[in-house]
Amino acid sequence: MLNIVLFGPPGCGKGTQSAKLIEKYNLVHLSTGDILRSEIANGTALGIEAKKLMDQGILVPDQVVIGMISAKLDANKNANGFIFDGFPRTQAQAAALDNLLKEKGTAITAMLSLDVEYDELVRRILHRGKDSGRPDDQNPTVIGKRVDEYNKKTAPLIDYYKSQNKFHSIKGNGTIDEIFGKLCEVIDNL
């Protein structure tokens, strides 16, 4: 199996590149942000609780997203592999993911981290916020909070995957196709 953690701060291009990678490598895309937004759209109790945190740019509790990923892994037993987008975001999530994959006899193949500077992240997110309908895309303070959460709780996972020799950094500026080409080069050399 090919199991990729597509990593990086809010707005770095995880969703955009995931869409292209799943097509080329025939993988299943698992985005906890997308799953949470579909819970919100369906008005579930989980969605209502998650929305309060997401609208402030704060991470939802680990157990919530770990449960979601576990269910999705079970629902896709015959997959060729997975792209994890926006998950794991904490040490606890990374450890849980390793355990879930181990139970299934597989593991993370690599973490690909998209490196984009802060001003460009804010520019991209505010631009998308004009018509995304995402409340967390429209307010610079909330975007700043999302980046803070990333720096404090998520960026340390770089060391977690480095210690497993799975970390790869990719410059996330340039055109979408250029970045896609760089990601494919790394994957093809794994």
- Site residues (vs ligand AP5, CB under 6 A): 8, 10-16, 32-33, 36, 53-54, 57-60, 65, 86-87, 89, 93, 124-125, 128, 136, 146, 175-176, 179
- What lies within 8 Å, CB to CB, of 168 at 6+ separation is 110, 111, 112, 113, 186
| Total interface residues for Mg ion by CB under 5 A | 2
The region that residue 84 occupies, defined by phi over 0 for left and psi between -120 and 50 for alpha, beta otherwise, is beta
Q: Is 20 in the site for Mg ion (CB under 5 A)?
A: no
Q: How far is the CB of 35 from Mg ion (least distance, A)?
A: 11
- Residue sitting closest to Mg ion (CB): 15
Q: How far is the CB of 146 from Mg ion (least distance, A)?
A: 11
133-136: long-range pairs with CB below 8 Å, 24+: 134/37, 135/54, 135/55, 136/54, 136/55, 136/56, 136/57
Contacted entry of Mg ion, ligand AP5, none for residue 166, CB cut-off 5 to 8 Å set by kind: none
Whether the CB-CB separation of 36 and 19 falls below 8 Å is answered with no
Comparison of 3 and 93: residue with beta carbon closer to ligand AP5: 93
Whether the CB-CB separation of 39 and 143 falls below 8 Å is answered with no
Comparison of 7 and 167: residue with beta carbon closer to ligand AP5: 7
Contact footprint for Mg ion (CB under 5 A): 14-15
